[in-house]
């Protein structure tokens, strides 16, 4: 398996959370958005999306899952395991990564990935880098009102947010967990909600091994 596929899994949480996290914030002229407003995890809840690359030279469609599969304490704070799944282009199987995130400050503490038939592996993390990138992205979005939109998962009343720089639109609803995203459109990709999950299970199983760079070469 190529290294870039593992890196995609390692970064999936940051990349996928970016749009809904940026969008659900309540912004005003006097204060930065409160990160606790965007993240309302419920263990067992989740969403399934169809991601579509719109560049004609690289057009493709893939399913993606976002679920909340567990809860534990980190330094006295509630933390939740967010699990992400995407389809492996080569094998056709789903690849999964999960990250442990504290509710109050939205900090990433642990990350585990697993490919089909292989042991789960804990990856190294640099949470400060993720926090800096997220804060930079937060300032690029603004609300443009409320709209009702229909997607394969149903019809939702959504807050519509637009990106100030470049192309970006996201529609979010408090009926969708964990980040509210119903639809996301950028210059090269769309994500559309196809299913809401109410009984999500952890897809990463077995003992967790420490990161092994050699495993990325297979």
Specify if 88 maps to a domain.
yes
Question: What pTM does this model have?
Answer: 0.75
Distance of CA 103 to the CA centre of its chain: 15
Specify if 67 maps to a domain.
yes
Specify if 194 maps to a domain.
yes
Domain that holds residue 18: 3-139+189-217
Specify if 170 maps to a domain.
no
In 76-151, DSSP assigns E strands to: 77-87, 94-102, 108-114, 120-122, 141-151
Specify if 178 maps to a domain.
no
Interaxial angle between packed helices 127-138 and 3-24, expressed in degrees from 0 to 180 and rounded to the nearest 10: 40
pLDDT in tens, 166-206: 778 889 888 888 888 899 998 888 999 999 999 999 999 88
Tens-level pLDDT at each residue, the chain (218 residues)? 333 333 334 444 444 443 434 333 333 322 334 434 557 789 999 999 998 887 777 778 889 999 999 999 999 999 999 999 888 767 778 889 999 988 887 778 888 988 888 889 898 876 555 555 655 665 677 788 899 999 999 999 998 888 877 778 889 888 888 888 899 998 888 999 999 999 999 999 888 888 766 655 55
Number of domains in the chain: 1
Specify if 171 maps to a domain.
no
Specify if 195 maps to a domain.
yes
Distance of CA 157 to the CA centre of its chain: 21
Specify if 124 maps to a domain.
yes
Using CA atoms, how far apart are residues 100 and 188, in angstroms rounded to an integer? 29
Q: What is the pLDDT of residue 10?
A: 42
Using CA atoms, how far apart are residues 25 and 38, in angstroms rounded to an integer? 6
């Amino acid at each position: 398996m190529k290294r870039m596929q593992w890196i995609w899994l390692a970064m999936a949480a940051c990349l996928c959370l970016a749009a809904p996290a940026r969008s659900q914030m309540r912004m005003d002229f006097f204060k930065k958005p409160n990160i606790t407003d965007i993240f309302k995890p419920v263990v067992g809840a989740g969403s399934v999306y169809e991601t579509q690359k719109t560049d004609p030279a690289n057009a493709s469609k893939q399913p993606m899952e976002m679920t909340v599969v567990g809860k534990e304490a980190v330094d006295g704070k509630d933390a939740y395991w967010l699990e992400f799944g995407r389809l492996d282009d080569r094998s056709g199987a789903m690849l999964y990564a999960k990250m442990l995130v504290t509710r109050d400050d939205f900090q990433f503490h642990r990350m585990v990935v697993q490919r089909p038939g292989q042991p789960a592996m804990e990856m190294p993390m640099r949470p400060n880098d993720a926090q800096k990138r997220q804060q930079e992205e937060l300032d690029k979005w603004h609300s443009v009102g409320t709209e009702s939109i229909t997607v394969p998962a149903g019809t939702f009343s959504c807050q519509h947010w637009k990106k100030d720089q470049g192309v970006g639109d996201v529609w979010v609803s408090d009926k969708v967990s964990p980040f509210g995203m119903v639809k996301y459109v950028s210059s090269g990709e769309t994500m559309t909600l196809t299913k809401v999950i109410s009984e999500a299970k952890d897809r990463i199983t077995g003992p967790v091994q420490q990161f092994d760079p050699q495993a990325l070469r297979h």
